[in-house]
Amino acid sequence: MSLSRQVRFLAQPPRLAAPEPDTLLQLADQCVKCGYCLPVCPTFRLEHTEAESPRGRIALIQGWLTDSLPASPVLLRHLDQCLECRACEAACPSLVHFGRLMDGARTLRQARSPWWRRWPRLAWLDLLSQPRWLLLLAPLGLLLRKAGIGRLSNPSSRSWPSLLLRLGAAVHAPRRVGASMPSQAEHSSNSSPHDSSRALSSDLSAPTTAASAPPVGLFLGCIARATQGASIDAARRLLAQLGIPFDEPSAQGCCGALHRHHGFTAAANRQLAVNAKAFGERRVIGFSSACMLELQTSEAISAQEICAFLANSQALAQARPRPLSARVLVHEPCSQRLLPGGASAIYQLLGRIPALDVQPLPGNDSCCGAAGTYLIEHSHTALALLEPKLGALRTLQPDYLLTTNTGCALHLASGLANAGLAIPVLHPVELLERQLRADAED
């Protein structure tokens, strides 16, 4: 949100559209309270408290919407603690749309809140969804940490200094593990698909195929643009290597997921509309599973996660990656498991690399704790959910850890760095692209 827009917002805050309570109650009433969701809910498994389960949260929403329970800080905290991983939906015999219910409840909560309480939250999300601001906020968090403020900060605090501290730690951890930012000289976001193919294909091993198909649109995201330069660069190189024409509309923006899951549905829908206009008729591909899941909610956008797109590519079937004698563990993000086909395309892609030992990371059925801004705003719980995965990584000691979601990559890399484990966290596309490069190391 620009400064002028924020000034207008403060002077005359808009009313927020929200779902009717009766609509949410109809969704909630589908729950028969059987309890099948409890064993698969990460927060319930951690806390063993009914209010930290999907069934308990549905009961709290029903009590709140029927005025049987006040919207107390305790009630709202239990709703906030939900990761929206939606593991409960797969276990539910009544097919409760829990994610839709939780998004709706959060939207109604924001609509009922005074504007002066909503505005800081919206401003925080607007800043996070703009790469240039994220690149400024993260170093500020590191400066606060170096100044010793981190020792005084409550791990569960949601104050601005505490949030900045955790943001700085999360954003800069992947660089310690070895990711690099792309060179802007190598690729311009305004270049044509043919220009980008020529610029990037000179150092790749296999010949590119004729670019006769219409270009696909490469979705860059917001946080990913500031933190996953290596993944973006690898995707560009791989598409060029395979002769797949692509472009990157400069008008694209945030997918809207951050705003939607915090109850700012109208802002999320506006961001979807911006992307629909920017990409037009192009098929949209992206390397962050959460972004693709959000873009797929728009009927105006044809979006596909890049691993699934490449797995069905004839160009990839003709490619010959170099062998790699290494062991990789695959982390399957919750959003990836919710996409059509789940994580199967990841294993198909990695199966193209000879001699590569590919195994799923133990505990993939449970959320790692990243969940958008959850790793920053609920860091204590996020770290507790991450610990079993770190334990598996300590035991198995893979050469690489692969994941397809930006937030998960940040959370995993930060945890590995703090645990002293020098395991690179990569996107599957990065590993595949390395093995197709002529200068790839054996």
Q: Beginning with the edge strand found earlier in the chain, give each strand of the sheet holding 400-402 in spatial order.
A: 356-360, 326-330, 400-402, 425-426
Instruction: State the pLDDT at residue 159.
Output: 47
Q: What are 45-90's pLDDT values in tens digits?
A: 999 999 999 999 999 999 999 999 999 999 999 999 999 999 999 9
Instruction: State the pLDDT at residue 140.
Output: 55
| Cβ atoms within 10 Å, residue 79 | 17
Alpha-carbon distance 33 to 138, whole Å? Answer: 43
Instruction: State the pLDDT at residue 128.
Output: 83
Q: In the chain, which stretches have pLDDT less than 70?
A: 1-17, 133-213, 438-442
Place of tokens 């005074």: 114
43 and 9 in a single domain? The answer is yes
358 and 412 in a single domain? The answer is yes
233 and 276 in a single domain? The answer is yes
325 and 234 in a single domain? The answer is no
Instruction: State the pLDDT at residue 279.
Output: 97
245 and 289 in a single domain? The answer is yes
107 and 132 in a single domain? The answer is no
Q: What is the pTM of this model?
A: 0.84
In a domain, 183, yes or no: no
Instruction: State the pLDDT at residue 172.
Output: 52
Instruction: State the pLDDT at residue 211.
Output: 46
Q: Alpha-carbon Rg of the chain, whole angstroms?
A: 22
DSSP letters spanning 396-442: H--SEEE-S-HHHHHHHHHHHHHTT----EE-HHHHHHHHHBTT---
Domain end marker among 113, 135, 164: 113
Instruction: State the pLDDT at residue 155.
Output: 47
Instruction: State the pLDDT at residue 14.
Output: 52
Terminal Cα distance for the chain, rounded = 47
Instruction: State the pLDDT at residue 396.
Output: 97
In the chain, the number of structural domains is 4
| Cβ atoms within 10 Å, residue 118 | 20
**CATH number of the domain to which 237 belongs:** 3.40.50
Instruction: State the pLDDT at residue 19.
Output: 84
7 and 80 in a single domain? The answer is yes
223 and 304 in a single domain? The answer is yes
Instruction: State the pLDDT at residue 394.
Output: 97
199 and 250 in a single domain? The answer is yes
292 and 219 in a single domain? The answer is yes
In a domain, 73, yes or no: yes
370 and 327 in a single domain? The answer is yes
- Domain extent at residue 157: 127-173
